[in-house]
Amino acid sequence: MHSRRSLLYVPGDDRHKIEKALTFGADCICLDLEDGVAQNCKETARAAGKLPGA
């Protein structure tokens, strides 16, 4: 197991930013489903961030 050296937080409601984040080589990409998302988009972001079967 290797240690995480970098964390990249990305708004969970912006697919373009999520896809772009994958190109930066960060050790961990964290989808922000709360503070980084506009109030009227939170439910959509939360639904998009759910894992199948979760």
pTM for the predicted model, two decimal places: 0.71
Q: Is residue 2 part of a domain?
A: no
Q: Is residue 54 part of a domain?
A: no
Bridge partners of 8, per DSSP, are: 29
User: Tokens 């939170």, residue?
Assistant: 42
Q: Is residue 38 part of a domain?
A: yes
pLDDT 10s digit of each residue in the chain, 54 long?
677 789 999 998 888 998 999 999 999 999 898 888 999 988 888 887 776 655
Quote the domain boundaries for residue 43. Answer: 7-48
Q: Is residue 28 part of a domain?
A: yes
Q: Is residue 18 part of a domain?
A: yes
pLDDT at 52: 63
Q: Is residue 53 part of a domain?
A: no
Name the region of 35 (left: φ>0; alpha: ψ -120 to 50; beta: rest). Answer: alpha
Q: Is residue 1 part of a domain?
A: no
Q: How many domains does the chain have?
A: 1
The amino acid occupying position 25 is G
As a whole number of angstroms, the distance between CA 7 and CA 44 comes to 23
